[in-house]
Amino acid sequence: MRQQRPYIYLLLWLGLSLLTLFPIYWLFVISVKPAVELFTTPSLILDTVYWKNYINVIGNATLRGYMINSLIISTSNAALVTVLAFLACYSLSRFDLAGKENIFFWTITNRMAPAAVFLLPFYLLFTQVFTFGDWKLYDTKIGMILLYCTFNLPFAIWTLRPTIDGIPKELDEAATVDGASTWQVISEVVFPLARPGLAVTFILTWVFAWNEFLLAATLTSFNARTITTGLSEYVTTTGTEWGTMAAIAVITLIPALIIFSMVQRHIVAGLTFGAVKE
Amino acid sequence: MIKKSGIGLAALTLALMTTALPARADFWSDAGAKYKGVVLHGVTESTPPSNYIKDVLAPEFEKKTGIKVEIETTSWDQMYDKAIKDMEAKTGIYDMIYIEQDIIYAYLARNFLVDITKSLKDDPSLKSPDYDESHYTTFANYFKNADGDIFGTPMEAFIKVYLYRTDLFNDPKIQEAFKKETGKDLKPAVTHEDYTEIAEFFTKYGKDNGLDLWGTTAQAHTGHPASWYEFFESIAPTFGVFNWGVDASKNYAASVENGGTMNSAESKAAMKYWLHLRDIAPPESAASTWTEVGTTFAAGRVAQGLVYGENAAWIASDAEKSKVVGNVGVALPPTEAKVLEDVKAGKGYLGYYDGGAFGLPVTSKNKEASLLFLQFIGQDSVQPDWAVAAPRITNTATYDDPKIVDMDKKLNGYYSMLKNDGKLFAGAPPYPFHAQVREATAPIFYKILLGEIPSDEGLDQMAAAAEAELKNLGYRK
C-alpha cells in the first residue's frame, strides 16, 4: 500500500495554484504602478500601490458604458445561444431526422474559417442590408447579440449534444406515457437533467462573447462598443497606457469571476455528463 | 421730480426694448439653429489632441449650437479600417474622419473628401467670422489641393526632433570623460559624426559604470513599418536623400540607374550610419516603433535620440510618465554638413513634419453641420488651451499666447523650434502610393535589419522593387 504523503499534494496544489494565478498577479501589479515605473524599474514586487489607474477607469463614464454594453451583449447572447442550442440538440437527439449527422457536422463549418473572413460581408449586411430607413443593425446591441450567435451557436450545439444524448430517452417516453406534451417533456424532464451541460455551455459562450474583439471593433462605434474594443483606445502613438489597460483588464475579470462562481458547481458535472454512455 | 420721471421713463423704455427685441445671438447659435438635434459622428486615433476634441471641444460646440458631436477614438489601424470602409461602402456613418498627413494624397486621389474652402465659399451663411484658413501654420499646406483649397482642419502637428539629456550633457564629470575620450567638448551633435561619437561614448559609459544607459534611440523594429519610416523620413533626408529616394520628375525613378536616389551612395551611407546606431542602442530597439523610442527616452535609458514631437512634450513635462522631466534638451537633427545648407536654401528637408487634420467625407449625411464643427475647432480662440492640454500647434497665433510661451520654457524651446525651424521639416512626399511602395520594399528592408542581406545590396533590391511596383501601378511608363 502506498504511503500517504499529504504535504506533497499540498505543495503540488500550492505550486499549480501559484502558476495559474501568476498572470493575474502580474496583471494586478502592472495595474497599480505608475507608467514611469513600468519602464524604468520593472519589478513584480508590489512595493507601492498606485490606485490612480483604477480611479481613472472607474471615473470614466465612457468605460462604464462599454462595460454595461459588454454585460448586456454577452449575457443576452449566452442566454439566446444556450436556449437555441438546447432545442437544436434535443431535435438532433430525439427525432429521426434525415441526414441529422450531416446537419450536426454542417453547424460547425461556421467556425472553420477565421472571423476576419466574415468581416466585410457582415459589415455590408449590418450597414446596407439590414437597414430600416435610417436605422441600421450596425452599432446596435441586438446586432452584436445576433452576430455572436453565428459563431457561438455551432460551438454550443457541439458542446451540449453529448449532454442531451446522455439523458435516457426512456425518461421522455415515460413522461409521454404519463400524458406529458413534448414541451412538458423538454421543460420538465430534459431541461432539469441537462442543467450542468447548459451551465457549461452558457459560461463558455458568455466568455467567448465577452472576450471577442475583432467583430466588435469593426461593427460598433458609439452605442454598442464593448470593453475589449475600449482597450484599444489606450494603444496610442504617444504610448500604450499599460497601467490603465491592466486596470481595465482586472475590472473585466470581476464579472467573469462572478458568473463562474455562480455556475461552477455545475461545471464539473457538465463537463463529464454523457461522457460514458450506459 | 421731472428728472426722476425722465429716468423712470428711460428705464421703462429700455426694459420694453430688451423684452421686445430677441436676444442678440452669436454666429454659432444662429448657424447651428438649423441643425439643432443633429448628431455628428467622427472617428479618430486615440491621441491627446483627439481626446481634447472629444472631451472639451465637442461639448462646447454642442452648448453653443445644439449640435451633438460624438467622437470615436480608437487605435491607429482600427481608425483607418473604419474610416476607409465607411467611405468605400458609402455608408455615411462618419461625418468627420482623421486624416493623417501621408494618407491625404490617397484620399484626394479617390475623391473621398469635401473641399472645405469651396464649400464655405459656396454657402457663406456657414462661414464663421472667427475662422480664417490663412491663420494656419504652413503645415496646413499638406491638406490642400493644387488650387490651394483645404480638405482638412489641421488638429495636430509636430516635428521629429533631436532630444538629448541636459543632466548628462551638463555633468562636469561626464564632460571631462568625454573630452578625455574624444578630445572634444560634449555638446548636442550637429553632424552625423558628432552624433555617432556621443552615442558610442554613452553606450560605453553606461556599460563601464553598470548603468542602464545607452547612447541613442533607434526606431528599428524588424517587422513593423515604423523602422521603414524612421529610415526614409528621418535618417535618409539628413544625408540628402529626399522623398524616399523616388524622383517623380524622372518618371518616378527610384534606382540611381534611372535617376532616383533610393540606392544612392548617400542612401547607403545613411543606412550604414543608422545600422551602427541601432547596434549600440538599447536592446529593445529592434522591437521599437514610434511609441517605444519615446518610452525608452522617458525611462532615462538613453542620452539622446530622434523622437516625434508629440512624445517630446510629455517626455519633457509629464512626471507621471517620464523620469527625465526638466532634463530634456531639444535640437535639430544632425546632418551631413552640406545638407543643412541645402535645406535652408529650400532644397529638401531635414526631417519629418507629422500630424493630422479632421476631414469631411463626401459620404457624410450632415455636411453643413460638420462644416460648422470643423471651423469651430479651427478657430484661433480654442487653440491655446488645446495646445497646453495636448501639445500641438496648428495656428500661427497660438505661438504668442502667454500660456504657450510659458509651456515653451518647460519644453526647452520645442515650440520655438516648431515656429522658427518648422519650415525645415516636411511631411510625406505627395504620392498617393505610399502604402503600396512601402509594402513592396519593406520585406527587403527587414532582411537588411535582420542581417540577411548586406545593406548596399538590399537598397539596390529595394530600388528595383519600388520601380517595379510603381510600374505595376501605372506610374513608370
> Does A142 reach chain B within 8 Å, measured CB to CB?
no
A44 DSSP 8-state letter: S
- Cell numbers describing residue B266: 548617400
Q: Look at residue B21 in the predicted model and tell me its pLDDT.
A: 45
Give backbone dihedrals phi and psi of B268, rounded to 5 degrees, phi first. Answer: -70, -35
Q: Look at residue A232 in the predicted model and tell me its pLDDT.
A: 83
* pLDDT surpassing 90 at residue B214: yes
Residue % of chain B over a pLDDT of 90: 80
d(CA A25, CA A44): 9
Of A35, A217, A237, the CB nearest to B310: A237
Q: Mean per-residue pLDDT for B419-437?
A: 91
Helix-helix angle B455-472:B434-449, to 10 degrees? 160
d(CA B99, CA B106): 10
Q: Look at residue A270 in the predicted model and tell me its pLDDT.
A: 57
Distances, alpha carbon B37 to alpha carbons B14, B89, B350, in Å: 34, 26, 47
d(CA A178, CA A200): 31
List of residues 6+ apart from B353 with CB closer than 8 A: B101, B139, B142, B157, B158, B159, B422, B425, B426, B427
Q: Look at residue A264 in the predicted model and tell me its pLDDT.
A: 73
d(CA A139, CA A99): 38
* pLDDT surpassing 60 at residue B220: yes
Longest CA span, chain B: 103
Element (H, E) at A2: none
Q: How confident is the model at residue A273 (pLDDT cuts 50, 70, 90)?
A: low
- Cell numbers describing residue B202: 554613452
d(CA A198, CA A226): 25
Q: How confident is the model at residue B13 (pLDDT cuts 50, 70, 90)?
A: low
d(CA B414, CA B313): 8
**According to DSSP H, which parts of chain A are helical?**
6-31, 35-40, 52-58, 61-94, 100-108, 115-124, 141-166, 169-177, 182-184, 191-211, 214-219, 227-231, 242-272
Please answer whether residues A195 and A112 qualify as being in contact, where contact means their C-beta atoms are separated by less than 8 angstroms.
no
d(CA B131, CA B27): 11
- Cell numbers describing residue B230: 524612421
Distances, alpha carbon A100 to alpha carbons A93, A104, B92, in Å: 9, 6, 44
Q: Look at residue A241 in the predicted model and tell me its pLDDT.
A: 85
* pLDDT surpassing 90 at residue A75: yes
d(CA A173, CA A182): 10
d(CA B218, CA B307): 9
pLDDT tens readout for residues B223-257: 999 999 999 999 999 999 999 999 999 999 999 99
d(CA B403, CA B396): 14
- Cell numbers describing residue B276: 551602427
B75 contacts on A by Cβ (under 8 Å): 232-233, 235-236
For residue A207, count CB atoms less than 10 angstroms from its CB and return exposed for 0-12, middle for 13-18, buried for 19 or more. middle
Distances, alpha carbon B266 to alpha carbons B149, B230, B256, B347, B452, in Å: 36, 16, 11, 16, 21
Distances, alpha carbon B331 to alpha carbons A3, B270, B477, in Å: 74, 20, 42
- Cell numbers describing residue A196: 450542468
* pLDDT surpassing 90 at residue B332: yes
Closest chain B CA to residue A34? B320
Using the beta-carbon criterion (under 8 Å), do A239 and B311 form an inter-chain contact?
yes
Specify the range with the lowest mean pLDDT, choosing from A204-218, A245-259, B367-381: A245-259
> Does A48 reach chain B within 8 Å, measured CB to CB?
no
* pLDDT surpassing 60 at residue A239: yes
Specify the range with the lowest mean pLDDT, choosing from A9-18, A269-278, B182-191, B310-319: A269-278
Q: Mean per-residue pLDDT for B319-339?
A: 92
d(CA B130, CA A50): 44
CA distance B392 to chain A (A): 12
By DSSP bridging, strand B153-165 and strand B96-100 are unpaired
* pLDDT surpassing 50 at residue B22: no
Using the beta-carbon criterion (under 8 Å), do B294 and A239 form an inter-chain contact?
yes
Closest chain B CA to residue A222? B72
Residue % of chain A over a pLDDT of 90: 54
CA nearest B119: which of B364, B371, B357, B359? B371
Q: Look at residue B186 in the predicted model and tell me its pLDDT.
A: 97
Q: Look at residue A268 in the predicted model and tell me its pLDDT.
A: 62
Give backbone dihedrals phi and psi of B69, rounded to 5 degrees, phi first. Answer: -125, 120
Q: Look at residue A36 in the predicted model and tell me its pLDDT.
A: 79
* pLDDT surpassing 50 at residue A5: yes
* pLDDT surpassing 90 at residue B259: yes
> Does A217 reach chain B within 8 Å, measured CB to CB?
yes
Q: How confident is the model at residue B9 (pLDDT cuts 50, 70, 90)?
A: low
Q: Mean per-residue pLDDT for B457-470?
A: 98
Q: Look at residue B251 in the predicted model and tell me its pLDDT.
A: 95
Q: Which of B44, B84, B85, B224 has the most A C-beta neighbours within 10 Å, making it the best mutation to test the interface with A?
A: B85
Helix-helix angle B367-378:B58-65, to 10 degrees? 120
Of B91, B300, B311, the CB nearest to A238: B311
Please answer whether residues A148 and A77 qualify as being in contact, where contact means their C-beta atoms are separated by less than 8 angstroms.
yes
Average pLDDT, rounded, for chain B: 92
d(CA B342, CA B116): 35
Q: How confident is the model at residue B374 (pLDDT cuts 50, 70, 90)?
A: very high
* pLDDT surpassing 50 at residue B18: no
Q: Mean per-residue pLDDT for B58-84?
A: 93
Rg of chain B, C-alpha, whole Å:
26
Q: How confident is the model at residue B122 (pLDDT cuts 50, 70, 90)?
A: very high
Q: Which residues pair with A239 in a beta bridge?
A: A236
Q: How confident is the model at residue B291 (pLDDT cuts 50, 70, 90)?
A: confident
Q: Which amino acid is at B475?
A: Y
Q: Which residue has the higher pLDDT, B13 or B277?
A: B277
Q: How confident is the model at residue A27 (pLDDT cuts 50, 70, 90)?
A: very high
Q: Mean per-residue pLDDT for B322-335?
A: 94
Q: Which residues pair with A125 in a beta bridge?
A: none
Q: What is the dihedral of CA A38, A44, A45, A48, to 10 degrees?
A: 30
Specify the range with the lowest mean pLDDT, choosing from A66-80, A120-134, A232-246, B44-58: A232-246
Q: Look at residue A41 in the predicted model and tell me its pLDDT.
A: 67
Q: Look at residue A3 in the predicted model and tell me its pLDDT.
A: 58
d(CA B150, CA B147): 9
Q: How confident is the model at residue A115 (pLDDT cuts 50, 70, 90)?
A: confident
**According to DSSP H, which parts of B379-454 are helical?**
383-389, 402-410, 414-421, 434-449
Q: Establish how many alpha carbons lie within 13 A of residue B16's alpha carbon, considering only the half-sphere containing its beta carbon.
A: 6
* pLDDT surpassing 60 at residue A274: no
* pLDDT surpassing 90 at residue B430: no
A235 contacts on B by Cβ (under 8 Å): 46, 75-76
- Cell numbers describing residue A60: 470614466
Q: Look at residue A42 in the predicted model and tell me its pLDDT.
A: 67
Q: Look at residue A79 in the predicted model and tell me its pLDDT.
A: 97
Q: Mean per-residue pLDDT for B194-222?
A: 97
List of residues 6+ apart from A70 with CB closer than 8 A: A210, A226, A227, A228, A252, A255
- Cell numbers describing residue B75: 487605435
Residue % of chain A over a pLDDT of 70: 93
Q: Look at residue B264 in the predicted model and tell me its pLDDT.
A: 98
Using the beta-carbon criterion (under 8 Å), do A233 and B46 form an inter-chain contact?
yes
For residue A46, count CB atoms less than 10 angstroms from its CB and return exposed for 0-12, middle for 13-18, buried for 19 or more. exposed
First to last CA, chain B: 96
Q: Look at residue A260 in the predicted model and tell me its pLDDT.
A: 80
Distances, alpha carbon A149 to alpha carbons A74, A84, A85, A145, A155, in Å: 10, 9, 10, 7, 10
Helix-helix angle B309-317:B290-298, to 10 degrees? 20
Q: Look at residue A15 in the predicted model and tell me its pLDDT.
A: 92
